[in-house]
Amino acid sequence: QVALYKSVPTRLLSRAWGRLNQVELPTWLRKPVYSLYIWTFGVNMKEAAVEDLHHYRNLSEFFRRKLKPQARPVCCLHSVISPSDGKILNFGQVKNCEVEQVKGVTYSLESFLGPRISTEELHFSQAPPGNSFQQQLVTKEGNELYHCVIYLAPGDYHCFHSPTDWRVSHRRHFPGSLMSVNPGVARWIKELFCHNERVVLTGDWKHGFFSLTAVGATNVGSIRIYFDQDLHTNSPCYSKGSYNDFSFISNNNKEGIPMRKGEHLGEFNLGSTIVLIFEAPKDFKFHLKAGQKIRFGEALGSL
């Protein structure tokens, strides 16, 4: 069954869905089409910056609707906030170079992030060569590596934001598959997140290494990062296991891209998953329960 599912041309279907989403709907058809979607997925249009359904020319515009300015207040008391609306699938310390996809199903940290990026680019000290991949990411003695997985359902707000104050130094794009990241499928297919198309943003915050990964899914061929005009996702051709790197560090820009907590970072078409992997002191505490719903701006954890 897994092999059969993997053989489904999800990238082709996602591109077709993307084109369909961009077809302009006649004004008279917009309200019934969007109302059906709102009813099916429980969308709260009272939070939308524009509540009038006739305003959205196509499904893509409706999926990427913006919120009213005060709909998601950003928590100032905690060091890491949720970058998006969604459901918490998993969180905690990274152990044995493995990250939990959903409870009981893990994937390799190195397969997910890819080979380590040069220390010069991330302003990190050189790790001893014998250390594990996980230990090489931890830059400060006494720190641990943490992770948090957030699943965005089709009815959720599809933009994502910066979860903390940090500097983005590097982008790694894995073309990959576009299988569903629904929690049921995530329990079924091992290393699902390592197979799927994803955009890994890495950099550093005040406690060391920090990364945010936007994972694509079926019908989510488009992952957009607002400050990265060179990123193009769901292209027709790619080599399995390939990836491409882009550095935001240059002779003219030694600091990368500074992001403030809550600042707009990017968007999905439809829903998908965001994975945070970051370094923090041992007394970092998550304020979460697995399976809980969360909204952009709410606290994930703090010191």
φ/ψ of 277, rounded to 5, equals: -130, 120
SS3 state at 146: strand
Closest CA to 242 of 179, 180, 177: 177
User: Is 254 strand, coil or helix?
Assistant: coil
Say how far apart CA 235 and CA 215 lie, in whole Å: 15
Q: Concatenated DSSP letters for 62-111? A: HHTPPBPTTSSPPPSSSSEE-SSSEEEEEEEE-BTTEEEEETTEEEEHHH
User: Which residues are marked as active site?
Assistant: 85, 161, 272
* Dist. CA 200–CA 44, nearest whole Å: 30
The answer to whether 303 and 146 have CB atoms below 8 angstroms apart is: no
70-101 per-residue burial string, b: 16 or more CB within 10 A, e: under 16: ebbebbeebbbbbbbbbbbbbbeebeebbbbb
Q: What are phi and psi of 20, to 5 degrees?
A: -60, -40
Q: In the beta sheet, which residues pair with residue 209?
A: 204
Q: % helix / strand / coil in the chain, to the nearest 5?
A: 20, 30, 50
The dihedral built from the CA positions of residue 13, 155, 276 and 191, taken in this order, carries a sign that is negative
